[in-house]
């Protein structure tokens, strides 16, 4: 694969998403966090900084999830629907480069989105910290702008990269609507994978346990990317955990993007 | 044209909303609802957004407490506070303020809380089980035994247990020993409230501690004044019902006042000093009983 070709395709995807007003979500995020910081002070009995931390991380995950799924499902299927795929595959670009380039473009879109959201979030937290008394700040579990919270932001990005790969994979052979349902379904199911592992406690030695155990290992475990609560309470997240979780996510991403390339390369657009 | 329609439509909707509320006032729901009573159940549907949901339940708990107790609603309407706090702390097991603040809401008497100390202890036990390095939950538990149950011996036990937690305050073992020896004397109470005043994370807790310290000041003042009233009665042969004769006779220098400056009253039926019923410090608390000292062992 030619890195320059990948870069051009990725940049085109990013430009498209800007043209599609995807970055408008940043305005929504800023309004949500800034508005909440002013409104919730009277409701939370001194927990406003904790709640803005929780709210900011959750909003990044939700906004990112919607972008990842709704743009991810259109990466390939939109080109097919618009019939612009014919002009694309006629160009001296490999189909694999097209799929991987589009995926990287969406990663770039999400990364820039999350980076801006993080900057806004830290600015609001910094302002809240600045307006509090030193004595009150001393009672917090961690500083308002604790840099360790970036670990949670990083794992949100890795999780979103995985969701994008899932959406891309489904978009290579399914309609956008079904791709969205499948991607969202896998995202939800991925949070319940621990239940699949514990299924044998309910079914005993039944053959069903082998199926559920297999599903546990095959389905991506989305819950492990969630360290939001730990960082908000300044609980340590070991570097080894972050590294193995990242590798786990990358393994799935490589598999899903490779599968997407394989399916897309064999599709007949005649 | 389109703009005019938008404005007219919005204006019509707002006007109808205002009129409808006037014509058909909302009927208050007889009971508030906690649609999910299981924190684990809520946690499962929350996916990776448990912390935010915990915050939502915390805000609901605060609003519920304010709506029921602070506005004087019947006690039967306070039954949902514990489930709200339980769900909040199940969703976020490290939600420190929900345990500590929640325990105060639950344990305090009807004048400031819900008078459910047993639920406060359940909540604090859950907090310590989830956060075994947080000695504050054992300290708070001891405090509930001391202040609400008036059980200085059990309180001393939990102060001692709190003192065993690594990183706990150095004064806890001494406090436990002192409480075991002295029982619920006022100095123990004063020390406890001073600790809360100095270490509490939240303004409400500090304000409550300050108020309790004010009550202890009033109790001290009453203890100083009552012997004077007794001597006055013994000497003059009649109970004082007002402060003026005592001031005129040089028994006291001025009218004794509570920390807000409101004069104490003399209860005409007993002839003893008492806090004015309109005072912010009324009613004064019952104090825990002093320790029952064991009989000295022979030869000791």
Name all domains of chain B by residue range, CATH numbers in brackets: 33-208 (1.25.40)
Residues 205-244 of A with CB under 8 A from B: 222-223, 225-226, 228-229, 232-233, 235
Determine whether the interchain pair A191/B48 forms a contact, defined as Cβ–Cβ distance below 8 Å: yes
pLDDT (0 to 100) of residue B298: 43
Give kind and range of the element (H or E) at residue A165: helix A150-171
| Interface residues from chain B to A (CB-CB < 8 Å) | 44, 47-52, 54-55, 58-59, 62-63, 92, 94, 96-97, 101, 201-204
Averaged pLDDT score across all residues of chain A: 85
C-alpha–C-alpha distance, residues A54 and A239, integer Å: 22
Helical spans, DSSP H, in chain B: 2-23, 39-45, 50-65, 81-91, 96-107, 117-130, 136-143, 152-164, 172-182, 186-199, 203-236, 244-248
pLDDT (0 to 100) of residue B35: 64
C-alpha–C-alpha distance, residues B246 and B243, integer Å: 5
Residue B269's contacts (CB-CB under 8 Å, 6 or more residues apart) are none
Answer whether residue A30 shows pLDDT above 80. no
Determine whether the interchain pair B59/A50 forms a contact, defined as Cβ–Cβ distance below 8 Å: no
CB B137 within 8 A of CB B101: no
pLDDT (0 to 100) of residue B294: 44
User: Whole domain around residue A228: which residue ranges?
Assistant: 3-266
Residues of chain B with pLDDT under 50: 30-31, 292-300
Determine whether the interchain pair B96/A141 forms a contact, defined as Cβ–Cβ distance below 8 Å: yes
Specify the number of domains making up chain A. 1
CB B55 within 8 A of CB A44: yes
**Least confident range of A124-133, A136-145, B135-144:** A136-145
Determine whether the interchain pair B202/A45 forms a contact, defined as Cβ–Cβ distance below 8 Å: yes
Would you say the pTM of this structure is higher than 0.90? no
Q: Residue A122: is the preceding peptide bond cis (ω within 30°)?
A: no
Q: Kindly report the nearest CA distance between residue A133 and chain B, in angstroms.
A: 12
Q: Name the residue among A156, A158, A184 with its Cα closest to residue A60.
A: A156
CB B39 within 8 A of CB B86: yes
pLDDT (0 to 100) of residue B149: 87
Give kind and range of the element (H or E) at residue B272: strand B272-274
Task: Give the tokens for residue A140.
Answer: 């917090």
Looking at beta carbons, which residues of chain A come within 8 Å of B101? 45
Task: Give the best-scoring range by mean pLDDT among A17-26, A93-102, A207-216, B42-51.
Answer: A93-102
Read off the DSSP letter of residue B68.
Answer: I
């Amino acid at each position: 694969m030619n890195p320059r070709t990948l870069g051009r395709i990725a940049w085109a995807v990013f430009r498209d998403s800007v043209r599609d007003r995807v970055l408008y979500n940043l305005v929504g995020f800023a309004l949500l966090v800034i508005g909440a910081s002013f409104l919730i002070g009277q409701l939370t009995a001194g927990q406003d900084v904790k709640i803005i931390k929780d709210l900011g991380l959750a909003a990044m995950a939700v906004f990112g999830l919607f972008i990842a799924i709704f743009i991810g499902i259109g990466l390939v299927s939109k080109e097919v629907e618009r019939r612009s795929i014919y002009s694309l595959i006629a160009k001296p670009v490999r189909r694999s480069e097209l799929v991987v380039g589009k995926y990287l473009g969406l990663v770039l879109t999400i990364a820039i989105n999350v980076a801006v959201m993080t900057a806004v979030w830290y600015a609001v937290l910094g302002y809240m910290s600045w307006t509090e008394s030193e004595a009150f700040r001393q009672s917090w579990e961690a500083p308002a702008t604790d840099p360790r919270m970036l670990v949670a932001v990083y794992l949100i990005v890795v999780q979103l990269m995985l969701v994008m790969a899932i959406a891309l994979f489904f978009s290579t052979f399914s309609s956008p609507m079904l791709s969205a349902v499948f991607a969202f379904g896998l995202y939800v199911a991925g949070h319940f994978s621990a239940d699949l592992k514990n299924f044998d406690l309910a079914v005993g030695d039944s053959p069903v346990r082998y199926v559920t155990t297999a599903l546990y290992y095959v389905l991506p475990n989305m819950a492990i990317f969630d360290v939001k609560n730990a960082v908000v309470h300044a609980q340590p997240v070991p570097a080894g955990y972050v590294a193995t979780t990242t590798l786990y996510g990358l393994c799935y991403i490589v598999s899903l993007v490779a599968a997407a390339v394989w399916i897309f390369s064999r599709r007949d657009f005649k | 044209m389109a703009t005019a329609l938008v404005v007219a439509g919005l204006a019509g909707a707002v006007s109808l909303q205002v009129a409808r509320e006037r014509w058909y006032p909302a009927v208050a729901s007889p009971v508030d609802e906690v649609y999910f009573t299981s924190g684990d159940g809520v946690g499962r549907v929350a996916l990776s957004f448990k912390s935010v949901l915990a915050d939502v339940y915390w805000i609901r708990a605060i609003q519920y407490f304010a709506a029921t107790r602070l506005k004087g609603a019947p006690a039967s309407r306070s039954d949902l506070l514990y489930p709200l706090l339980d769900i909040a702390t199940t969703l976020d097991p490290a939600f420190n303020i929900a345990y500590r603040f929640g325990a105060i809401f639950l344990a305090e008497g009807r004048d400031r809380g819900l008078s459910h100390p047993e639920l406060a202890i359940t909540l604090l036990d859950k907090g310590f089980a989830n956060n075994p390095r947080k000695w504050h939950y054992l300290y708070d538990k001891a405090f509930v035994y001391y202040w609400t149950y008036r059980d200085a011996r059990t309180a001393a036990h939990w102060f001692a247990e709190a003192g065993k937690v690594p990183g706990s305050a150095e004064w806890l073992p001494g406090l436990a020993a002192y409480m075991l020896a002295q029982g619920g004397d006022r100095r123990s109470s004063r020390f406890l409230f001073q600790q809360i005043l100095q270490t509490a994370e939240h303004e409400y807790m500090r304000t409550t501690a300050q108020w309790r310290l004010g009550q202890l000041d009033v109790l001290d003042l009453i203890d100083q004044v009552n012997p004077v009233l007794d001597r006055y009665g013994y000497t003059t042969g009649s109970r004082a019902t007002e402060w003026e004769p005592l001031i005129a006779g040089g028994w006291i220098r001025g009218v004794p006042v509570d920390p807000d400056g409101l004069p104490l009253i003399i209860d005409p039926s007993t002839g003893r000093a008492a806090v004015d019923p309109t005072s912010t410090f009324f009613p004064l608390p019952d104090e825990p009983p002093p320790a029952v000292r064991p009989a000295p062992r022979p030869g000791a």
